Amino acid sequence: MRISKFTRTAIASAIWGGALVTVAMPAQANKDLDRLSKEDTNWVMQTKDYGSTHFSEMTQINSHNVKHLQPVWSFSTGVLNGHEGGPLVVDGIMYVHTPFPNNIFAIDLDDPGKILWEFKPKQNPAARAVACCDVVNRGLAYAPAGDGYPAMIFQNQLDGHIVALNAKTGELIWKMENSDIAMGSTLTVAPFVAKDKVIVGSSGAELGVRGYATAYNIKDGKQAWRVYATGPDEDIKLAKDFNSANPHYGQFGLGLKTWEGDAWKIGGGTNWGWYAFDPDLDMLYYGSGNPAPWNETMRPGDNKWTMTIWGRDVNTGEAKFGYQKTPHDEWDYAGVNYMGLSEQLVDGKMTKLLTHPDRNGLVYTLNRENGSLVNAFKIDDTVNWVKKVDLKTGLPIRDPEFSTHMDHEAKGICPSAMGYHNQGIESYDPNKKLFFMGTNHICMDWEPFMLPYRAGQFFVGATLNMYPGPKGTLGQVKAMNSVTGKFEWEIQEKFAVWGGTTATAGDLVFYGTLDGYIKALDSRNGKELWKFKLPSGVIGHPITFGHKDKQYVAIYYGVGGWPGVGLVFDLQDPTAGLGAVGAFKELAHYTQQGGGVMVFALGL
């Protein structure tokens, strides 16, 4: 990929909003962001904090009074496509983003009826044609002021550019090209700030894009490192001691050996999901996605390192470990989903853990220091492509009945390609030691076909029919212990719970639904305590924040994304939208398009 545009304002004097400010060194910027993320008045990351807890200690709104929540203000973005992610709140300012054309609005919480500034980028509209599943964007990132630069807002644009803006004024500071849409590579992932770097993923595996993650310097946008999911070890950046604690996961040379010929060059493995970061270990965690094409016959081998949980040194990008969950994926179980960090007792020892609910219908918990597998269990007992995971080898024990080989239509595969978990950010209550997950409950029939690779065109090779799972609904919300694999409770939802959950110390779990409700459950038992009908369906996540001694809850509305692609583009063929149209054929009877943010607080 080439760098096409780079602009930077003169900020040597560190002028921010007209006043001289004290700036921090880049290493300090990480600590400043970490500190802000722990102040529950703020919501400075899409994941809430580096551990991706999506949890607030605020209790002003709680299980006893949540029934009195009412809307206090709202804001229309003027954009109709799917609104994923959530707004950021930093020191009294809310930052709102949109899907393509990727507008940004800054709103002063003292006067939310007035827009402080707006940024409307000019970008190549051709990006819309190569976006896989609606023109979504998963959110903004924020970095506090550092050595020679002001506080910044980072945005990834669908046409492959990342921009850095002055958080106070909206002024463009720098712009870099990360992805080439001519090759089908777009940007839907939220940027992620760690130390003096902003991490950016990639999209486009459905068009044969070779996946990579890139770190840019916050100050000037220069590339610090780039790592790939496939190819030679030097491109993947494997450390000398890679997987030394678990050599059975595989170590060196496999990014080439597990592919036939040069198939790795168009082999997928993009990462458009979520990151987590351990500042004590300096380690970054994320997942690489599905191999390309979906038709498994066209790519013999394990196809490493797609479908992998990565633990990397954030300074260099070097991989300390990589655990491939679904070798030779046959079902588009892209493993880019939520990464949640916790510290829990394992065999009587307090252990740093990483928990990952995967699209393949399994929940994985790893020791995040070395990648060792602690547990792997099914999100739902209806998962059928796999019998179990061998905890010694880490390998899934497949059920051959649900294989997707050529000249055969596989029936009744659970989960569908949408996974029993997709792009939603989940929450972890450290007091209860429970994760709260919004899930899908969708199964499918799958028929593969052969096709040639053409740059910038869809490279899938399968026809899918999707439908509700055995329990009769398309979604669920669950509370689970990630160490024991025990589920404390679960409830059913008519449609998939696409955007994820947010938990609070007030014994609450908030989430949005595709048919347009924001709901609050009692986190102790799953009982529904409150709901409110929004103008459009929800595919993003709620946040909660404080302002002037009052707690608020906010959420985007704006149906779309993969589950809403039929509604957004008025598609009728049930196999269209990579199978989503058939699964969500009833959605248009319950909600319509319209994008914005709704903010709630306690009434009388």
Positions annotated as catalytic residues are 332
In angstroms, the CA 357 to CA 203 distance is 20
Cα torsion for 381, 384, 389, 390, to the nearest 10°?
A: 120
Coil vs helix vs strand at 63 = coil
The DSSP code sequence of 170-219 is --EEEEEE---GGGT-B--SPPEEETTEEEE--B-GGGTPPPEEEEEETT
**Are the C-beta atoms of 540 and 555 separated by less than 8 Å?**
yes
Secondary structure E strands in 5-46: 15-16, 19-20
Count of CB atoms within 10 A of residue 116's CB?
A: 15
Count of CB atoms within 10 A of residue 365's CB?
A: 25
Under DSSP, the state recorded for 267 is: -
Least Cα distance to 284 among 237, 245, 326 occurs for: 237
Interior angle at CA 516, CA 510 and CA 522, nearest 5: 25
In angstroms, the CA 250 to CA 253 distance is 9
In angstroms, the CA 217 to CA 62 distance is 41
**Residue 226, exposed/middle/buried by CB under 10 A (0-12, 13-18, 19+)?**
middle
Identity of the residue numbered 256: L
Identity of the residue numbered 460: V
**Are the C-beta atoms of 306 and 332 separated by less than 8 Å?**
no
Interior angle at CA 601, CA 598 and CA 604, nearest 5: 135
Strand pairing class (442-448; 550-557): unpaired
Token pair in block for residue 48: 């809430």
**Are the C-beta atoms of 403 and 412 separated by less than 8 Å?**
no
Q: Is the dihedral of CA 540, 545, 548, 550 positive or negative?
A: positive
DSSP-H helix ranges across 38-155? 127-130
Q: Is 272 left (phi over 0), alpha (psi -120 to 50) or beta?
A: alpha
The DSSP code sequence of 294-351 is S-GGGS-S--TTSSEEEEEETTT--EEEEEESSTT-SS--------EEEEEEETTEEE
Count of CB atoms within 10 A of residue 454's CB?
A: 11
In angstroms, the CA 192 to CA 357 distance is 20
Under DSSP, the state recorded for 420 is: S
> Residues with Cβ < 8 Å from 53, sequence gap 6 or more?
47, 340, 341, 342, 427, 428, 430
Q: Which residue has the tokens 């398309």?
A: 474
Identity of the residue numbered 500: G
